[in-house]
Amino acid sequence: MVKTALKLPQYELIKQYLRHQIETGEWPIGYRTPSEPKLAEQFSVSRMTARRALQELADQGLLSRTAGSGTFVAKPNLQVASIEIIDLVERARETGYYSNRLLGIEAVAPSRQMTELMLLDSKQPVYQLNMLHLERNCPLVLQQLWVNTALAPALPKQTFKKVTPDAYLDWIAPSTRVDYQLMAVSPSPEQQHQLTLTGQGSSLCMQLNRRCWRHQQVLSISASVIPAAFYQLGHNLL
């Protein structure tokens, strides 16, 4: 079966035209585009079809519209950063050389700071979990994880030999939003020992903090310490 040139809907054709005018600079930033009725006449379509093209590009941030005034080419205002957070653990699991060591898991009373971070109102306990992830028996990530007991009550029943805590949580309660924070740190002596880091130059780590949300609630907080040599946020650049 040969895939023939597919017929695009009319609103897509209009979108292409609008995008072209913007990307070539024919319509500079602030330029007032044709109005819905005029676009409709130009392309011999109804106003609602022309409207759809304008609306979708506006939703996408390319245009900006104000009732009564018109539609204008928007300044690409807040830079839409594309960042890819590489999940080292997930990548290692795919290669098949992954293993881990559960260093500890217990239900504890959260610190005041943790109570604020996780938006816990009562004196509800949290699961605190320490785990070392390895690739080819080489320490890769030292992770500290706090989990909302209300959202994952059965967490301590898991062994995490085959499924990581993150994968388990993603299974029972997928995140709807994630906040990240990243910084360079010098690991503590204990962390250096757990990561079997020796000496000077190698003691350079990244710490990746992560907060996973499930709608209005905080599901988990994670702090991962990773030897800098392993970590790179994004790739192929420089």
Contact residues for DNA (CB under 7 A)?
A: 9-12, 33, 35-38, 44-49, 51, 54-55, 65-71
Element (H, E) at 127: strand 126-135
157 to 186, contacts with a copy of itself by CB under 8 A?
Answer: 174-186
Q: Give the pair of three-digit tokens for residue 122.
A: 């009562």
Given 75, 101, 136, 193, the residue binding a copy of itself (CB under 8 A): 75
The answer to whether the beta carbons of residues 21 and 64 sit under 8 Å apart is no
12 binds a copy of itself (CB under 8 A): no
What's the DSSP call for residue 48? H
Residue 4, phi then psi, degrees to nearest 5: -80, 165
Element (H, E) at 94: helix 88-95
Nearer to DNA, 68 or 199 (CB): 68
- Name the minimum Å distance from CB 11 to a copy of itself: 13
Strands 63-66 and 70-73: antiparallel
Given 3, 80, 157, 189, the residue binding a copy of itself (CB under 8 A): 80
Given 29, 108, 109, 119, the residue binding a copy of itself (CB under 8 A): 29
Q: What separation in angstroms does the CA of 114 have from each of 78, 183, 220?
A: 31, 19, 10
153 binds a copy of itself (CB under 8 A): no
The SS3 call for residue 217 is strand
- Name the minimum Å distance from CB 37 to a copy of itself: 20
Given 15, 51, 93, 211, the residue binding a copy of itself (CB under 8 A): 211
107 binds a copy of itself (CB under 8 A): no
In DSSP notation, 137-186 reads TEEEEEEEEEEETTT-TTGGG---SSS-HHHHHHHHS--SEEEEEEEEEP
When CB distances are held under 5 to 8 angstroms depending on the partner's kind, the choice from DNA, a copy of itself, none that residue 134 binds is: none
What's the DSSP call for residue 32? B
When CB distances are held under 5 to 8 angstroms depending on the partner's kind, the choice from a copy of itself, DNA, none that residue 9 binds is: DNA
CA angle 141-99-140, nearest 5°? 20
215 to 234, contacts with a copy of itself by CB under 8 A?
Answer: 215-216, 221, 223, 228, 231-234
Task: By CB under 8 A, name the binding residues for a copy of itself.
Answer: 23, 29, 59, 75-76, 79-83, 85, 113, 117, 174-186, 200-201, 204-206, 209, 211, 215-216, 221, 223, 228, 231-235, 237-238
